[in-house]
Amino acid sequence: MTLEDLKSYFINGNQFEAKTGLSHVNWHNWFKKKGYIPIGSQRRIEKITQGALKASLEDLPDGQL
């Protein structure tokens, strides 16, 4: 799952927080600091969205498992 996938699905950090129960701080960190969504968080989001967003190791930078 890419940041663009996340943004297309949730639009912004506030909607992300409201729909997932995860902090919008995660959103901010992924977009502004890390540049990717960690795989554990991807798996959690996949579960929350009932598979609408898919976790993918291919979307991680090298060495970020």
Q: What is the CATH number of domain 3-59?
A: 1.10.260
- Of 64, 37, 29, 65, give the one whose Cα is nearest residue 53: 37
Cα–Cα distance, 45 to 63 (Å, whole number): 21
The yes-or-no verdict on residue 63 having pLDDT over 80 is no
**What does DSSP assign to residue 24?**
H
Q: pLDDT tens digits for 6-39?
A: 999 999 999 999 999 999 899 999 999 999 999 9
Sequence ranges of the domains in the chain = 3-59
The yes-or-no verdict on residue 40 having pLDDT over 90 is yes
Tokens of 13: 């950090």
Q: What is the reported pTM?
A: 0.87
The yes-or-no verdict on residue 64 having pLDDT over 90 is no
For 48-53, what is the mean pLDDT?
Answer: 96
Q: Locate tokens 């976790």: which residue?
A: 55
Residue 62 has what pLDDT?
75
Q: Hey, what amino acid is at 50?
A: Q
